[in-house]
Amino acid sequence: MGEHILSWMTFFPLIGAAVIACLPSGRKQVIRTVAAVAAAVPLLLSVQLFMNFDRASGALQFVEHYTWIKSFNIEYFMAVDGLSMPMMMLTALLSFLCIFASWGIEKSLKGYFAMFLLLETGMFGVFCALDFFLFYVFWEVMLLPMYFLIGIWGGPRREYAAIKFFLYTLAGSVLMLLAMIAFYLNVADPVTGGHTFNMVHMFDQNNHSAWLQTTNIRHMLWLALFIGFAIKVPVFPFHTWLPDAHVEAPTAVSVILAGVLLKMGTYGILRISYPMLPDQAMWFRYALATLGAINILYGAYCAMAQKDMKKLVAYSSVSHMGYVLLGMAAMNSAGINGAVLQMFNHGTITAMMFLCVGVVYDRAHTREINAFGGLGMQMPRYFSFFSFALFAALGLPGLSGFVSEAMIFIGAFPAFRTITIISALGIIIGAAYVLWMLQRVFLGPKNDKWDNLPDINAREMFTLVPIGILVLLLGVFPMPVLDLMKVTLNNLIKVVAG
Amino acid sequence: MSDQAIITAAISILLLPLLSYTLTFFFGKKLPRKGDFIGVTLMGIALVQALRIFIAFWKIGDPAYRVEQSFRWLNLGDNFRLDAGILVDGMTAVMLMVVCLVSFLVHLYSTGYMHGDRRYERFFAFLGFFTFSMLGIVLSNNLFFLYVFWELVGLSSYLLIGFFFHKASAASANKKAFLTNRVGDWGFWLGILAFFTACGTLNYFELFAQVNAGAIKGPLLAWAGVGLFMGCVGKSAQMPLHIWLPDAMEGPTPVSALIHAATMVAAGVYMVARLAPLFGPEALMVVLYVGAITAFITATIALVKTDIKRVLAFSTLSQLGYMVMGLGAGDPVNAMYHLTTHAMFKALLFLGAGSVIHAVHSQEMPEMGGLRKKMPITFWTFLIATLAISGVPGLSGFYSKDGILGSVLAVGMVKGHYLPFILGITAAALTPFYMFRIVFLTFFGKPRDQHKFDHAHESGWAMAIPLMALAFMTLISAGIPGKTADKGWFSKFAAPYDVAAISAQFDAKQGGGELLVASHEAAALDGGHGETALGEPVAAHGEAAAAHGEAAAVPGENLHAEAMPAEGGHEAAPAHGEAAPAHAAPANAHGEAAAAHGAAAGGHNSHVRHTAHIRAMIMSIIVATLGITASWWTYHKLRVNPAAIQARLPFAHKVLQGQYFFDELYAATIYRFTLWWSMICAAFDRIVIDGIVNGTGYLTRLVAWVSGQCDRYIVDGAVNGVATVLQGAGEGIRRVQTGRIQTYLVYVSASVLVLIVIYRVL
């Protein structure tokens, strides 16, 4: 597997999905096991990737480069660099754990796991595709299983949520598609002179045609790409699909949605928009920082008002992704490294939160915050886990979220002083909604209604413990992840900010 | 002790409580006695280590001596890195002693006090974590890690204040503590960002060097200083963020002792003292006033409270106000001195109160009385602490509080800001009054609740030993302040940052009209370092002391000329070494003028300082006497009826009982606004933003429906219409084709006729 490690990672889950599709639907345990194996292999491969990744090099690594559709110069071009590495690791880890978080799914298990594994293929593909067309294909491939996962296995309003998610994302994709075609037609392959989807060629401004160098055109292309990605992040005001999708999606799907899918938006901006249109990135940075600040505060305030735990966590994602935007806009080392680290950390932390919400929902069949109270006495171990996740979310030092938020602020302060000062209010409001929820669910007198709730079980702990350890380790020693990304990102800053 | 040994010992002190936390948290339940011995033992070892460091620094006897070790924690290549590091100097050594001692005693005491609690092992785990966090603050050598541990202290307090979280009040109190602190941390964090942006480093001594070099100045320095101070306002519970501390009484009493004495609230004062050179004159003025107002208003509230722990809580607030006032007066040394002495007697007071509460199962003083005979150890130790906090000469509180008041008065005399001193001395009169009120109501007189009295008994040894130990520390922590400064033990430890040299230089650079005021002020602040008799470190240096008169404006030079060689091989930035020459030989004319003026004013002001100090001492002895007498007259002799006074002044009583209605004010404004605003945001999100999305969806469906209808009736209608017309036409025309000859003949004839008519007519 050494040579084609990225392809194996990407397509192994697909093989798993195919196998599952052939199994009789009655053999539930077999289906689960196959799914677990299909997700475990990429996880092991990601460890191999982590070991062998050359941290001193900013170049693309583990490259697989073949012609795919010759007449349109479409290539099968897969590789990773410091930007995609953390995302690959995150995807591999969360997908694997989510298989176990889905253990209790009853309704057509076969379809569920097949869809889930197909989704995993799409996610890996997005993070390592370097041909724009290929990227787009994976981007759309992801959409379909997600639609079904929400629409079939979701809550009461699942159809509304699924359609909303699907159409919203598709609307963004259309803009991205237009931009992609514009690039395709206006970027020349330096060797053959023909059109190309190769992103590396697109990064090189010398390959851009005269039309593509017109400022107005570049503004429009930037905006088209930005809106496409912004919907995914989601950036205010394109965020309302998120709470609906989260509330309706089953736990594991929420975890993937918030943990991985949202990152594709910011990943796309950093992977595609920044290097292809560096001057526009500079032009847009104040707007980006402002949107970041709005996301942080608006998301936090909205979270505070929620009555449903899952919705609260969903809005907290809006808020936390705002930090990513702010850090990206800063265009300096601390800011951008902080932003990518925050993408990773938010993935792990929010995953813990969704898993924790899932635990109580499975038992009590409600997520209404005010329905609980005093659960700390009833479920002490669960209380510890959830508190851990919540304190990580509010940026407690010693846990990973703090490091990335601190780096983002350190980067953003010299770049945008006022915006940073206002954004920093997020640390107060963030603490407020988190602690308020903690109080209403776990503290205070116990609600007798929940006298029979059993504490968290071994399987649930198995999904939480690895993430928890990671959150703690990266809070104390963040360098293992920063080492992966820093060379690539520092190069990116040189490209964009000069 | 070698430097390396000091560092090793310091690291072990930091890690021991963490180890205690880990072991107790994960394995406590399975161990005998639920593992409480782990905490006590490990803290005992930490205390021994702290003592070793303390003795080492005692022997070194140089407050500027420091040992520092850093390692790279975060490195992103050329342009961004952050270090973690340990700094041990005299100030650290004292704080290590204070924290470890109080924590050890609280651990010991808790084995008795918390006995039988359901989450006993958790309590010990959290105590360990709290101690660890506080030690992190004390040992850190840079602002980033100071902030890290600062937040961890916040977490620890959250866990411990909310220890009885099944009580609704505890569940609100811990959230309130954390959030109020976060408000302060917002400013603190921004202050850190400002310093980091301007100076490119967060290491204390590198920062001082950068500030000296003018890397950050003007309004930015002032605001950054105020930002840092906001952190202190939160953690050290200064007005207007003091509201969390009284509520923090919801935690078990040993926790209160820990919070009020050695951890948490001490952190804020320690931070400002440690970072004193980063505060410009404007920021210091804010500090001074905040401290003074806090000291005063909280002392007045303490007069009317009846819950013994609450009175002590407000007394803590008041004493913290003193410390902060001292910091604002440019006298971090006395602030730290007061912190140290206060830690001992306040821990003692809380543990004593805990002992009483444990005995009578009530916190209300009206239900106590006459406990003196029943609880002799508690009584006598409590009395010692009360005498100390009241400022009775000979006991520690007198010297430290008096040092602060002297400095505050000196600032008043030089700059005309007398209000802080007036507030301070008034609070000094109120302190003995309300403290002796506790003593008289609790231990003297007749028992007011016979049932509770009958069940009361002296606490066991686990609780009594800490009381006696702390009483002993209260007695000796005054040390031998002596008549002259160079005899005070504290002067061997408190690192005498030269705030004055920095602010004078800073102002000298600004030049112009501010010059005179600035140097004047700087000199006044210098006086604080150089001249105050008790426990002042600067004077401890022979040369500096000798140079008082003419060189008050440049004590930094003397001081740091000494400090430099002492630093030896440590890679510390020569912050003050740079400051002093710059000050002594200013580069520009303004600077020279400032220095010259400073020297003149300094001579004058050191005299002022001396006068101020003597006056403050006399006044505080008078007010302490008055306070104690009044309390004795009212609560022991019962010659004055407090109820009658309350009845006479209902409004004042209501305001005091309501704690000046800060909580109500915040509830009506900030809380309500925040909630309202969050509702607005959520509603906006649901109705407007999502409305647009759903509206777009609806609109799309509407357009689709319309186009569907069009398709059906117009487009398809046209197609079908053509067909219908053609069909109809066909139907019509078909009728013509009858197939009969007669009919055709008629058609032909008619046609011919028509044609003829047409031809003829046309």
Round the average pLDDT of chain B to a whole number and report it: 78
Within-domain flag for A335: yes
| 111-150 in chain B: CB under 8 A from chain A | 144, 147-149
Please say whether the beta carbons of B613 and B527 come within 8 A. no
Query: Using a CB-CB distance cutoff of 8 angstroms, which residues of chain B are in contact with residue A432?
Result: 179, 182, 674
Give yes or no for B678 touching A (CB within 8 A): yes
Is the pLDDT assigned to residue A298 strictly greater than 80? Answer: yes
Contact B165 A442 (CB under 8 A): yes
State yes or no: pLDDT of B505 exceeds 50. no
DSSP calls for A447-477: PGGGTTPPPP-HHHHHHHHHHHHHHHHHHH-
Token readout for B409 is: 């008065």
Instruction: Give the rounded percent of residues in chain B with a pLDDT score beyond 90.
Output: 14
Residue A380 counted as domain residue? yes
Backbone angles phi, psi at A237, to 5 degrees: -100, 25
Task: Measure in Å the smallest separation between the Cα of A365 and chain B Cα atoms.
Answer: 23
What mean pLDDT do residues B179-183 have?
91
Number of H helices, E strands in chain B: 33, 2
- pLDDT-derived band at B605, boundaries 50, 70, 90: low
Residue of B nearest to A395 (CA): B151
Q: How many domains does chain A have?
A: 1
Predicted confidence at residue A421, as pLDDT, reads 93
Q: Contacts of residue B674 in chain A, CB cutoff 8 Å?
A: 304, 429, 432
Of residues B396 and A223, the one with the higher pLDDT is A223
pLDDT level of residue A139 (50, 70, 90 thresholds): very high
The Cα-based distances of A9 to A4, A33, A153, A171, B269 in angstroms read: 9, 18, 26, 29, 55
For residue A397, give the chain B residue with the closest CA.
Answer: B148
Interface membership of B692 toward A (CB under 8 Å): yes
Asked, for residue A251, whether it belongs to a domain, the answer is: no
- Predicted confidence (pLDDT) at residue A423 exceeds the cutoff of 70: yes
Min Cα–Cα distance to chain B from A485, Å: 9
Whole-number Å distance between alpha carbons of B435 and B383:
9
**Does residue B57 sit at the A interface (CB-CB below 8 Å)?**
no
- B154 vs chain A: nearest CA distance in angstroms? 9
> Distance between CA atoms of A214 and B629, rounded to whole angstroms?
87
- Average pLDDT, integer, range B648-662: 83
Separation CA B210–CA B575 (nearest Å)? 8
Interface check for B186 against chain A (CB to CB < 8 A): the answer is: yes
- pLDDT on residue B119: 85
pLDDT of residue A467: 93
Average pLDDT over residues A26-46: 91
CB B86 within 8 A of CB B139: yes
Quick check: is A216 in a domain? no
B183 CB within 8 Å of a chain A CB: yes
Nearest CB among B79, B166, B193 relative to A444 is that of: B166
The answer to whether position A73 is within a domain reads: no
Say which range, B49-63, B266-280, B528-542, has the weakest mean pLDDT.
B528-542
Kindly determine whether residue A435 and residue B193, on different chains, have CB atoms separated by under 8 Å: no
With CB atoms and an 8 Å threshold, state whether A413 touches B151: no
Cα first-last separation, chain B? 139
B746 or B450: which leads in pLDDT: B746
Residues of A with Cβ-Cβ distance to B199 under 8 angstroms: none
pLDDT value at position B488?
A: 59
User: Taking the CB of residue A213, how many other CB atoms lie within 10 A of it?
Assistant: 12
Q: Which range has the top average pLDDT, A410-424, B196-210, B389-403, B615-629?
A: A410-424
Interface contact flag, A439 B151, Cβ < 8 Å? no
- For residue A488, give its domain range: 291-498
Size of interface A-B (CB pairs under 8 A): 138
Chain B positions touching A304 (Cβ under 8 A) are 674-675, 678, 682
Task: Please check the confidence at residue B260 and state whether its pLDDT lies above 50.
Answer: yes
pLDDT higher than threshold 50 for residue B534: no
pLDDT at B608 over 80: no
Residues in B touching A332 (Cβ below 8 Å): 79-80
Percent of chain B topping pLDDT 70: 83
For B321, residues 6+ apart whose C-beta sits below 8 A from its C-beta are: B238, B239, B291, B292, B293, B294, B295, B296, B298, B427
Name the range with the highest mean pLDDT among A340-354, B27-41, B357-371: A340-354
pLDDT range class, residue B491, cuts 50, 70, 90: low
Judged by a CB distance cut-off of 8 A, whether residue B681 touches chain A is yes
Q: Are B247 and B177 in contact (CB under 8 A)?
A: yes
Which chain A residue is nearest to residue B149, measuring alpha carbons? A397
Q: How is A111-144 classified by DSSP, letter by letter?
A: HHHHHHHHHHHHHHHHHHB-BHHHHHHHHHHHHH
Task: Decide if A417 is inside a domain.
Answer: yes
Q: Which residue of B has its CA nearest to A380?
A: B119
Q: Which of B147, B171, B682 has the CB atom closest to A444's CB atom?
A: B171
Chain-chain contact of B77 with A487 (C-beta, under 8 angstroms): yes
Cβ of B166 within 8 Å of Cβ of A443? The answer is yes
Concatenating the DSSP letter of every residue in B383-426 gives HHHHHHHHT-TTSHHHHHHHHHHHHHHHHHHHHS--HHHHHHHH
* Cα–Cα distance, B461 to B466 (Å, whole number): 8
Look at residue B599 in the predicted model and tell me its pLDDT: 47
Is position A475 within any domain?
yes
Chain A residues with beta carbon closer than 8 angstroms to that of B179: 428, 431-432, 435
For B:60-79, CB contacts with A below 8 A are 73-77, 79
**Residues of chain A with C-beta less than 8 angstroms from the C-beta of B76:** 333-334, 337, 482, 486, 490
Q: Which two tokens stand for residue B352?
A: 């004593």
Largest Cα–Cα distance of chain A, in whole Å? 74
Give the pLDDT confidence score for residue B604 in this predicted structure: 57
The whole-angstrom separation of Cα A124 and Cα A84 is 10
Which of A376-390, B97-111, B558-572 has the lowest average pLDDT?
B558-572
Q: Write down the pLDDT at residue A7.
A: 92
Residue A249 lies in a domain: no
Chain B residue at shortest CA distance from A383: B165
CB-based contact A240 B77, cutoff 8 Å: no
Q: Which of A403, A435, A446, A488 to mutate to test the interface with B (most CBs of B within 10 A)?
A: A435
- What tokens appear for B279 in the block? 């505060």
pLDDT tens for residues A312-322? 999 999 999 99
Residue B364 sits at φ, ψ, to 5 deg, of -90, 120
Report yes or no: B674 at the A interface, CB cutoff 8 Å. Answer: yes
A443·B165 Cβ contact <8 A: yes
Report yes or no: B378 and B467 within 8 Å, Cβ to Cβ.
yes
CB A253: neighbour CB atoms within 10 A?
27
Q: Provide the terminal-to-terminal Cα distance of chain A, rounded to the nearest Å.
A: 39
What is the residue-wise DSSP string for A412-434? HHHH-HHHHHHHTTHHHHHHHHH
State how far residue B147 is from chain A, nearest Cα, in angstroms: 8
User: What's the pLDDT at B501?
Assistant: 47
